[in-house]
Amino acid sequence: MKYGFILKGSGYKIEKREINSPTFKTTVYAVSTYQDALKCAESLIKETVDIIEFCGGFSEDEITKIISTLNTTVPVGHVTFRTTEQEKLEKRHYSSL
């Protein structure tokens, strides 16, 4: 199985890492923009991944646009937090500003 994951964070330059086992290949990209994420997703599709997931740093609108633009048979997921965990995240984030 080939798995792709795309992280989004301010200041990331496109970076690619791979983690492999005898039965599983994971490719992780770090990006800072929607456009970079789209390029990386297209690369993953060319590498014939079985699934692509995007981190919660991408908005629902961005994910919807990515899925529409890719127009692929590869399933695309979006990792998000449960409501209670999102509240914790927001408290931690805003308290550090």
How confident is the model at residue 94, as a pLDDT?
64
CA dist., res. 50 & res. 27, Å (int): 11
How confident is the model at residue 39, as a pLDDT?
97
CA dist., res. 11 & res. 23, Å (int): 33
pTM, entire model: 0.88
Closest by CA to 58, choosing from 4, 16, 3, 7, is 7
pLDDT in tens, the chain (97 residues): 999 999 999 999 999 999 999 999 999 999 999 999 999 999 999 999 999 999 998 999 999 999 999 999 999 999 988 999 888 888 887 665 4
